């Protein structure tokens, strides 16, 4: 379905462009998405698209910025609403899974960028996202240890890495199966195992 984006203000046009790329990435190999395909999806000419983005790499960087802004905002909200650090970790886990299930093009874009040999602005943005995400997890893990919810001997950095790895594993299996809902089904069980691994022994 084409997105009508003619006559939109510049900021909205940029946002619609990002959404178009994510929609296309859910349907095809992100590496094969051309500026011509993006423009066609939006009902624009390539010239109109390049008035807002100087290059395809600039578009991909905007996509990564969009992902970082929205994903981190969602996980922050989920963590802040939780009753305890461990509940916060679970809320973040489920919120992340829900975000990806809603935007299946996002992990395809992310994995695609990380596989590129060159260091692009979008790839750097993806790394920054992981770093910022890990710091948020570390805060929850440290609080959980301080409050006796988590095993005090747990390596905070390793626990954060394992958390992200568990989500990435669920996403990868879901993409391989061609069923994004699978990650939602499998997420509670995966988090239960993670929780037992880092939980305080009482």
| One domain, residues 141 and 117 | yes
Q: Is the pLDDT of residue 117 over 50?
A: yes
| One domain, residues 114 and 191 | yes
Q: Dihedral sign for Cα 50, 55, 57, 58, please.
A: negative
54-102 confidence digits (pLDDT tens) = 888 888 888 888 999 999 999 999 999 999 999 999 999 999 999 999 9
Burial class (CB in 10 A: 0-12, 13-18, 19+), 34: exposed
| One domain, residues 88 and 67 | yes
* CA gap 6, 80 in Å, rounded: 39
| One domain, residues 80 and 144 | yes
Please report which residue ranges of the chain form alpha helices under DSSP H.
10-25, 35-42, 46-50, 56-81, 85-102, 105-114, 121-146, 156-177, 181-198
Domain containing residue 143: CATH number = 1.10.357.10
Please tell me the total count of domains within the chain: 2
Domain of 5, in residue numbers: 1-53
| One domain, residues 38 and 112 | no
82-92 confidence digits (pLDDT tens) = 999 999 999 99
Decide: 101 and 166 in contact? Cβ < 8 Å.
no
| One domain, residues 148 and 106 | yes
């Amino acid at each position: 379905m084409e997105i009508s984006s003619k006559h939109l203000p510049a900021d909205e046009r940029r946002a619609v462009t990002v959404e178009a790329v994510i929609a296309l990435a859910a349907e095809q190999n992100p590496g094969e998405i051309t500026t011509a395909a993006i423009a066609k999806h939006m009902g624009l000419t390539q010239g109109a698209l390049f008035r807002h983005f100087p290059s395809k790499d600039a578009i991909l960087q905007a996509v990564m910025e969009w992902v970082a802004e929205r994903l981190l905002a969602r996980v922050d909200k989920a963590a802040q609403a939780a009753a305890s650090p461990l509940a916060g970790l679970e809320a973040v886990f489920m919120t992340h899974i829900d975000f990806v299930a809603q935007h299946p093009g996002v992990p395809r874009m992310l994995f695609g960028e990380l596989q590129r040999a060159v260091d692009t602005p979008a790839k750097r943005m993806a790394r920054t996202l992981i770093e910022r995400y890990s710091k948020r997890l570390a805060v929850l893990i440290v609080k959980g240890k301080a409050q006796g919810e988590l095993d005090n001997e747990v390596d905070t950095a390793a626990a954060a890495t394992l958390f992200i790895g568990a989500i990435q594993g669920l996403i990868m299996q879901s993409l391989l199966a061609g069923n994004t809902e699978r990650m939602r089904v499998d997420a509670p069980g995966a988090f239960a195992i993670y929780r037992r691994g880092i939980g305080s022994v009482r």
